[in-house]
C-alpha cells in the first residue's frame, strides 16, 4: 500500500512545505515562492492521478493500445500558465509595495501602516 | 558489428554516468568557486556529450539520430558559454581563485 | 525523484538569500518537468520546463534585483505554524488512503470522459496529439478563458509597472554603449547571436507541430518570448527597445485574444455553436484542423507578447528606479 500511495504522500509533504513557507516567512517574495511550490505540488498530484501503468504518452499512433489519461494533462497545462500569470502579477505588486514602503518585510510594512 | 556498437554505446553511457556522479561529488567537495565551476563544466558538457553519443550509437531511426545530433550541437555551443559567463560574473564580483569567500552576485550586463 | 523534489523544497524553505531561492526554484521546476516525463505527461513537461524553469526564474530574478537580496531573519510563530502544518498534512494523508493506487487503470479519473476522447478524437478531429485535441477543440472554451487570463495579467503588469516617459536614447548613445559592451562580453554575445535565430525557429516549429507531437501555442509563445528576453539581457534594454516596437507588442497581445474569440464568432455566424469548428469548412475534419490552427496561433501570439510585455516592464522599472536614484543623488 505504501508503494501505491507513496506519490500522494510525497505530494502532501510538498504541499505542506509550501504552506509552511507561506505562513511563517515575513518576506513577501518568499511567500510567493512558497505559493509556487504549493501550486507545483498540486500539478504533480493531478498528473499522477492520470498515469496508467503500461500506458504511453497520449499521442495517438498505430499499434499502441494503452494511453495515459489526457484530461489531467490539459487541465494542468492551463493551470501552469495561469500560475505564471498570477506569479507575474504578484511580483509586480511586490515591486510597487517596495517602492511605496521601502521594504518587503511584512512587519515593517505593518509598522509603517500603523504609524500613518 | 552490432555487438561492437552495443559495447561502445554501453561504455559511453557508463562512463557518462560515472563522470556525472564524480562531478556531483566534486561540486560538493571542492574548496573553491572556480574549481567547482570546473566540475560543473565537466558534468554539463562532457557527460552530456558522452551520453548523447552513447544513445546515438544505438542507431535508432534517422529522425531520432538527426534530433540527437542537433541537441549535441546545441549543448556543445551553450554549456561552455554558460560556464564562461558564470566565471566571468564571479571575476567581476571580485572573486579570485585560491581565495574562498562568499560568492557574490555577478552583475548581469 | 519525488524525494529529490521534497529535498529541494525543504532547502528553499531554509535558505535566506533570495537570489539562491530564485535559482533553486528553477531547479525545482526542472525536476518537476522530469517527473512529468516519467508520468507520460509530455506536453505538461514541456510547458513546465519552459515556463517554470525558464520564464519564472527570470521574473523572480528581476523582482529580486529590484527589491533586494536578503531576507530578514524573523520567522514568527513557527512552532504554532509547524503544529498546524503537521495537522493539515496528517488530515490530507488520511484523506488519500481511499484513493486509487498510482497507475491503476480502473481509477475513476480514467473511466468516464477520457476513453471517449482517446477513442473518438482520431475520428472526429484527426489530430494525433490527444492533448492538443482536447485543449483546443473539446475544451476550447476553457482555453479561451485561459488566454484571457494571460492577457489580463499582461494588462495588470502594464497598469502597475509601466513608465510613461521613457528615456529616449539617441542612436549614437546606443551604438556607443553597444561598442563598449561588445568587447567586455564578446563570447556570450557571439554565441547567443548565433543561437537566437534557432530558438525562434524552434518556437515556430513547436507552434505548428503541436498537432503531431508535444507542443502547441503556450510552449511556443513562451520560447519565443524567452529568445527575445535573452537578446535584451545580453544587448541591453535600449538596443532591445529599438528591435521590439512596444506599441506593436501591446496590440499583438490583444490580437491573439481577438483571433481566438473571432473564430468562435465565425462559428456562431455560420449557424453552429460558439467555437464549434465543424462549421468553419464544408468538411468537418478540415474545419477542425483550421480551427485548431487558428486558435493555437492566437494563443501563441498572445502568450509571447504578454511575456515580453511583463519582462520589459519589470526591467524598465528597474532602469527607471536606478536612473532616478542617480538623479536624486
Q: Give, in degrees to the nearest 5, the angle at Cα C216 between C215 and C217.
A: 140
Dist CA C213 CA A57 (whole Å): 10
pLDDT single digits (tens) C89-137: 888 888 777 777 776 666 666 677 777 777 777 777 777 888 888 888 8
For residue C129, the chain A residues in CB contact (below 8 A) are 58-60
Asked if the C-beta of A102 comes within 8 angstroms of chain C's C-beta atoms, the answer is no
Asked if chain B contacts chain A via 3 or more Cβ pairs within 8 Å, the reply is no
188-217 in chain C: CB under 8 A from chain A: 212-214, 216
CB contact under 8 A, C5 and A81: no
Partner C contacted by A84 (CB < 8 A): yes
pLDDT of residue A115: 80
The ranges of chain C with pLDDT < 50 are none
Backbone angles phi, psi at C304, to 5 degrees: -60, -50
pLDDT at C149: 92
Q: What is the pLDDT of residue A1?
A: 56
pLDDT of residue C14: 73
* ipTM score of complex: 0.89
C311 to chain A: closest CA residue: A88
Distance (Å, whole) CA C159 – CA C173: 29
> Is a pLDDT exceeding 80 seen at residue B97?
no
Instruction: Give the residue from C75, C80, C18 showing the smallest Cα distance to A25.
Output: C75
Q: Determine contact: C23 vs chain A, CB below 8 A.
A: no
pLDDT of residue B106: 42
Find the closest chain B residue to C232 by CA distance: B109
Residue C11 sits at the chain B interface (C-beta within 8 Å): no
> pLDDT tens digits, residue range A34-60?
888 888 888 888 888 877 777 777 777
B109 band by pLDDT with thresholds 50, 70 and 90: very low
Beta-carbon count within 10 A of C186 CB: 11
DSSP designation for C167: -
pLDDT of B32: 76
Pairwise CA distance, residues C241 & A86, whole Å: 26
Helix (H, G, I), strand (E, B) or coil at C116: helix
The whole-number pLDDT of residue C166 equals 62
Among the partner residues C188, C194, C236, nearest to B85 by beta-carbon distance: C188
Instruction: Label residue B1 by pLDDT band (50, 70, 90).
Output: confident
Average pLDDT over residues B6-32: 83
pLDDT at A9: 82
Question: How many angstroms separate the CA of residue C234 from the nearest CA in chain B?
Answer: 6
The pLDDT of residue C72: 66
Q: CB contact, 8 Å: C4 with chain A?
A: no
C75 Cβ under 8 Å from any chain A Cβ: yes
C296-306, pLDDT tens digit by residue?
899 999 999 99
Evaluate whether C272 touches C262 at the Cβ level (below 8 Å). Answer: no
- Are the C-beta atoms of residues C321 and A99 closer than 8 Å to each other? yes
Contacts of A105 in chain C (CB under 8 A): 71-72, 74
- Residue C83's pLDDT is 85
> Looking at residues B44-71, what average pLDDT do you find?
82
Smallest CA–CA separation between B27 and chain C, in Å?
16
C 50-79 residues with CB below 8 A of B?
Answer: 69
How far is residue C309's CA from residue C306's CA, in Å, rounded to a whole number?
5
pLDDT at A99 over 70: yes
What pLDDT is stored for residue C151 in this prediction?
Answer: 92
Q: What pLDDT digit, counting tens, does each position of A56-95 carry?
A: 777 777 777 777 778 888 888 889 988 999 999 999 998 8
Amino acid at each position: 500500500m505504501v508503494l501505491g500511495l507513496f506519490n500522494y504522500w510525497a505530494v502532501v509533504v510538498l504541499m505542506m512545505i509550501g504552506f509552511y513557507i507561506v505562513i511563517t516567512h515575513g518576506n513577501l517574495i518568499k511567500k510567493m515562492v512558497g505559493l509556487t511550490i504549493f501550486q507545483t505540488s498540486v500539478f504533480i498530484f493531478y498528473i499522477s492521478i492520470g498515469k496508467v501503468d503500461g500506458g504511453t504518452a497520449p499521442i495517438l499512433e498505430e499499434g499502441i493500445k494503452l494511453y495515459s489519461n489526457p484530461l489531467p494533462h490539459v487541465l494542468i497545462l492551463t493551470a501552469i500558465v495561469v500560475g505564471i500569470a498570477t506569479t507575474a502579477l504578484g511580483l509586480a505588486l511586490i515591486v510597487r509595495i517596495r517602492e511605496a514602503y521601502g521594504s518587503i518585510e511584512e512587519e515593517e510594512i505593518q509598522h509603517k501602516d500603523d504609524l500613518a | 558489428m552490432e555487438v561492437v556498437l552495443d559495447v561502445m554505446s554501453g561504455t559511453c553511457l557508463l562512463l557518462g554516468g560515472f563522470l556525472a556522479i564524480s562531478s556531483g561529488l566534486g561540486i560538493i567537495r571542492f574548496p573553491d568557486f572556480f574549481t567547482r565551476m570546473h566540475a560543473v563544466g565537466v558534468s554539463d558538457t562532457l557527460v552530456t556529450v558522452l551520453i548523447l553519443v552513447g544513445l546515438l550509437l544505438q542507431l535508432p531511426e534517422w529522425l531520432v539520430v538527426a534530433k540527437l545530433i542537433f541537441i549535441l550541437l546545441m549543448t556543445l555551443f551553450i554549456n561552455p558559454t554558460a560556464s564562461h559567463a558564470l566565471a566571468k560574473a564571479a571575476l567581476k564580483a571580485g572573486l579570485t581563485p585560491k581565495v574562498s569567500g562568499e560568492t557574490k552576485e555577478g552583475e548581469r550586463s | 525523484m519525488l524525494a529529490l523534489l521534497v529535498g529541494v523544497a525543504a532547502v528553499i524553505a531554509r535558505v535566506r538569500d533570495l537570489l539562491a531561492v530564485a535559482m533553486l526554484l528553477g531547479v525545482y521546476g526542472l525536476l518537476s518537468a522530469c517527473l512529468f516525463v516519467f508520468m507520460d505527461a509530455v506536453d505538461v513537461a514541456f510547458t513546465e520546463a519552459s515556463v517554470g524553469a525558464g520564464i519564472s526564474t527570470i521574473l523572480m530574478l528581476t523582482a529580486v534585483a529590484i527589491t533586494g537580496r536578503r531576507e530578514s531573519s524573523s520567522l514568527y510563530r513557527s512552532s504554532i505554524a509547524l503544529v498546524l502544518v503537521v495537522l493539515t498534512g496528517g488530515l490530507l494523508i488520511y484523506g488519500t488512503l481511499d484513493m486509487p493506487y498510482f497507475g491503476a487503470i480502473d481509477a475513476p479519473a480514467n473511466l468516464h470522459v477520457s476513453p471517449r476522447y482517446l477513442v473518438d478524437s482520431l475520428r472526429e478531429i484527426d489530430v494525433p496529439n490527444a492533448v492538443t485535441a482536447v485543449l483546443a477543440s473539446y475544451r476550447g472554451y476553457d482555453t479561451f478563458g485561459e488566454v484571457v487570463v494571460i492577457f489580463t495579467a499582461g494588462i495588470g503588469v502594464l497598469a502597475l509597472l509601466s513608465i510613461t516617459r521613457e528615456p529616449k536614447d539617441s542612436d549614437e548613445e546606443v551604438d556607443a554603449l553597444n561598442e563598449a559592451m561588445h568587447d567586455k562580453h564578446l563570447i556570450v554575445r557571439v554565441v547567443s547571436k548565433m543561437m537566437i535565430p534557432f530558438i525562434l525557429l524552434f518556437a515556430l516549429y513547436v507552434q505548428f507541430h503541436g498537432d503531431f507531437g508535444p507542443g502547441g501555442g503556450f510552449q511556443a509563445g513562451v520560447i519565443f518570448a524567452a529568445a527575445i528576453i535573452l537578446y535584451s539581457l545580453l544587448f541591453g534594454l535600449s538596443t532591445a527597445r529599438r528591435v521590439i516596437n512596444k506599441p506593436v507588442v501591446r496590440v499583438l497581445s490583444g490580437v491573439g485574444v481577438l483571433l481566438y474569440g473571432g473564430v468562435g464568432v465565425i462559428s456562431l455566424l455560420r449557424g453552429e455553436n460558439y467555437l464549434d469548428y465543424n462549421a468553419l469548412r464544408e468538411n468537418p475534419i478540415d474545419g477542425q484542423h483550421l480551427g485548431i490552427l487558428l486558435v493555437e496561433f492566437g494563443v501563441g501570439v498572445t502568450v509571447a507578447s504578454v511575456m515580453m510585455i511583463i519582462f520589459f516592464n519589470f526591467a524598465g522599472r528597474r532602469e527607471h528606479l536606478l536612473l532616478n536614484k542617480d538623479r536624486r543623488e
